[in-house]
Amino acid sequence: MPYPTDRKYTKEHEWITPDGAIGITTYAQDSLGDIVFVELPKVGTEITTGKSFGTVESVKAVSDLYAPVSGTVTAVNEALATAPEQVNKDAHGSWMIKITPKNPEEQNALLSAADYDKFVSEEAGH
């Protein structure tokens, strides 16, 4: 599965672009199934690395969204409130929040597309 190389990934299946847009991966949306609800923080909220910043719900399950890095929320994708299924259709094109990172260098420690691909292949047991 090709993962875009213009961003970094976490083992919790989030991605973050260099300009601070955050979403979940294709692997994550596929594992969740039909997404019916996305709960996101308000603009101005401080998010902290590894801590929950929101929730995504599919028909069958509730999952926390974990911050890939620390920062302050500058924008929220309001379209997902009424069309959460967009995440199923285009996970890598559906950003959830945008942040101003607290420390821009924090992203360097995250997974590259190739490393993430390898990680999910192992997680899926292939």
Q: Which residues bind other proteins (CB under 8 A)?
A: 12-14, 24, 27-28, 30-34, 36-37, 39, 55-66, 88, 123-126
* Pick 104 or 123: Cβ nearer other proteins: 123
Q: How far is the CB of 123 from other proteins (least distance, A)?
A: 6
Which candidate, 45, 88, 82, 91, places its Cα nearest to that of 67?
45
Q: How far is the CB of 5 from other proteins (least distance, A)?
A: 22
* Pick 61 or 75: Cβ nearer other proteins: 61
Are the CB atoms for 75 and 97 separated by under 8 Å? yes
How far apart are the C-alpha atoms of 89 and 98, rounded to whole Å? 20
Q: How far is the CB of 87 from other proteins (least distance, A)?
A: 11
Q: How far is the CB of 9 from other proteins (least distance, A)?
A: 12
* Pick 8 or 105: Cβ nearer other proteins: 8
Helix (H) / strand (E) element for 97: namely: strand 97-101
* Pick 61 or 79: Cβ nearer other proteins: 61
- 20: CB partners within 8 A, 6+ apart: 71, 74, 98, 99, 100, 101
How far apart are the C-alpha atoms of 62 and 102, rounded to whole Å? 28
